[in-house]
Amino acid sequence: MNRALHYRSASEWLALMASGEITSRELVELCLARIDRHNRALNAVVALDAPAARAAADRADLARAHNAELGPLHGLPITIKDTLEVAGLPCTSGAEKYRGYRPARHAPAVRRLVEAGAIVLGKTNAPQFGGDIQTDNALFGPTSTPWQAGHNAGGSSGGAAAAVAAGLVPLELGTDLAGSLRIPAHACGILAHRPSTGAVSALGQLAGRPNRRAPMDMLVAGPLARDPEDLALALEVLVAPTEAGRLGRPQPAPAAASLRLGLWLEAVDCPPEPGVAGVLGQAVARLAGAGAGVAPCQPLEDAGRMFELFLRLMYAAMSVEYPDSLIARLAERARALPGDSRGLPGAMALGATLDHRGWLELNEERLVLGDRLARLFEDHDVLVCPVLHRPAWPHDEVPVARRQVMLGGQLQPWMAQAFWIALPSLLGLPATVLPAGIDTASGLPVGLQLIGPRHGDYRVLAAAARVHALLGGGLPPPLD
């Protein structure tokens, strides 16, 4: 495919700079021009420091000209999700109270990218404190997918995904607790990788107050890109030194005939809409036709309990940032729930008000589930499942606490649609999302999620590279 320069991969941009065919300054100018042309409609980039980016690009080009030692991302322009701290740039996390906050230091994952030579152009939009699976906030407003005006880019790394999909930058850094990398990748038709929990530092995320010393349970930082090779390249840079030995090294894409794909495409808890089911079915048929081994797989005896466990532990993790007044109301609500309460309506109250003993019991259940699921990956390279039950949706201005979603013909609480992203978050598993195809009825992209064993990140990324190639490599949005 003869792609325009702004849609080519980060790896291609790096190769062009290495060969002298283009300079870092020229790529920075390309990105700035794309932002100027498209950001008004997308609202993806919410902070920009063009003078500093140009100066950094000039320094990068000078270093290359003098044969200096260069990092693996030398001269590459990128953007960073606005929940992550970048020294000298605004970090609002979509909250009015932090409108003027400019951190003095980088988040650890940002620092690793910058030390590898990346040039941070600016910050991308996110919901307040990353607390939603669509991107909108009172400070900057909503972010749209470049595929259809008025439809949300997903969240919470929605600005990041929209920027990459629209060719504003080739690579981004976001975060993921409840699908915040994976849902926007699905909504915007790009790739994202949620690393194994702990593999990449998630410190330096502004989620209520700065300078937290301990990362939030299940929260990760990870890359978004248009090409699977870029995800592996970024992960090599991002991985914490103490975790590098566990993850090993990038692997070549396996031959189609050697792929063993476990298919988990249906669940009563979150049935995919016909358009999504159709795209995923066609993708699986195409993979099978190319020789990949595909087999239905039921990874969980009680998928509903898995989702409930995720929700309670998620709200327990998030509760450290809740004000005392909210905790008091949730405690009152929890006391009114029946002892055997299950499901989404009580999950926030029961999770946010867990005592330490209760948290330990749920964590033990999580560990047992992880041991059971590990056996699945003895027979399958990856588990293949949806990301969401639907493609990108129109901006929803209803406050998230009162928002609902249609699932299987019934209105459900908003977070019920997070079902398909819960398993990797709960168990700390690596997961890569890639474009599976376009829903012809809506014209919107549909993502496919590949899940692997804990610390099997490069195994998942290698499988994703082959699957991505077999499915045609994705398409750019209808912008140009």
Closest CA to 79 of 116, 34, 47: 47
Q: Mind giving me the DSSP string for 87-142?
A: TTS---TT-GGGTT---SS--HHHHHHHHTT-EEEEEE--SGGG-SSS---TTT--
- Contact (Cβ atoms closer than 8 angstroms) between residue 401 and residue 348: no
Instruction: Indicate the helix (H) or strand (E) that contains 53.
Output: helix 50-65
Query: φ, ψ for residue 84 (rounded to 5)?
Result: -100, 140
User: Active site residue: 81, 144, 196, 425, which one?
Assistant: 81
Cis peptide before 144 (omega within 30 of 0): no
- Contact (Cβ atoms closer than 8 angstroms) between residue 178 and residue 416: no
Pairing type for strands 382-386 and 444-451 reads antiparallel
Tell me if residue 184 falls in helix, strand or coil: helix
The amino acid sitting at 216 is M
Tell me if residue 415 falls in helix, strand or coil: helix
Q: d(Cα 385, Cα 247) in Å, to the nearest integer?
A: 23
Paired strand residues for 171: 225
* Cα of 54 vs its chain's centroid, Å: 28
User: Active site residue: 93, 144, 157, 180, which one?
Assistant: 180
Q: Which two tokens stand for residue 54?
A: 């140009």
81 is catalytic: yes
Q: Which strand ranges, in their side-by-side order, compose the sheet holding 77-81?
A: 45-48, 119-124, 77-81, 171-176, 220-225, 191-194, 431-439, 444-451, 382-386, 260-263, 293-296
User: Active site residue: 11, 144, 156, 196, which one?
Assistant: 156
CA pseudo-torsion sign 74, 80, 84, 85: positive
Q: Which two tokens stand for residue 205?
A: 């995320």
Q: d(Cα 116, Cα 112) in Å, to the nearest integer?
A: 6
User: Which residues have a catalytic role annotated?
Assistant: 81, 156, 180
